[in-house]
Structure 1
Amino acid sequence: MSLQTALRFEADTAKNPNLKKAFEAQVERIKYDEVMADRENVVRLELQINQRAGWNENLEVASWKKRIRNEADIVKSEMRMAAKAALAVRRVALKQLFEREFEVWEKELGLQGKTFYKQRI
């Protein structure tokens, strides 16, 4: 510490008005620096809070989009499975229709004394 700084704090400020003014100015600077440091801390904390809030909002949007994408994939797979099931049901119904028509034709041909040609293997 320099001699001037030491004298500024240790000297009798009542006798020397310049030292008193310098001391008061230094006290004011210290108070101002403390206020500014507190304000900077508040700004820094608010910036961190805002960043975290932004990250959370982005995460919510991303998870929402991912959930929609997953649900769309589920719907597509259900539609494919429903189409396969409907195709299987239509095949069974068509097979039953052909069997009933074949029986009707056989009865009609039987009444006429005719039959379908069946090749023996």
Structure 2
Amino acid sequence: MSEATSYRFEAMGDNKSLKKALLRQTERIKYDEMMAERESIVKQVRKAALKQLIAQDNAVYEKELHAQGKTFYVQRT
């Protein structure tokens, strides 16, 4: 779209409604970014909690195997 055409459409309407629409869009974008950041934090917390739980379970299994004189198989690379 050329500048003249886009200016014509911007100049035709009420500038207040255009500004309101732009303000609503800016607020929506900020809200979406905030929600995305919160979701990211929740995912990180869940991931850390799962890692801790797996490490605890692994330690328990290692103890039980050690009591039986056994161990986990670890493949060398």
Q: TM-score, normalised by structure 1?
A: 0.48
> Does residue 64 in structure 1 map to residue 20 in structure 2?
yes
Q: Secondary structure at the match of 2:62?
A: helix
Structure 1: stretches of 5+ with no match in the other structure? 1-57
How many residues are aligned here?
Answer: 65
Q: Secondary structure at the match of 2:74?
A: coil
Q: Which has the larger radius of gyration?
A: 1
Percentage of pairs with the same residue: 34
**Counterpart mapping for 1:16-95 below 5 A:** 58-95=14-51
Q: Distance in 2 between matches of 1:102 and 1:118?
A: 13
Q: For CA contacts below 8 A with separation 6 or more, give which structure has more relative contact order.
A: 2
> How far apart are residue 91 of structure 1 and its match?
1.2
Kindly provide the CA deviation profile for residues 46-105 of structure 1, in whole angstroms up to 9, marking residues without a partner as x.
xxxxxxxxxxxx333222221111000111111222222221221111111111100011
> How far apart are residue 120 of structure 1 and its match?
2.2
Structure 1 segments, 4+ long, off by >3 Å, are none
Correspondence for 1:118: 74
RMSD: 1.8
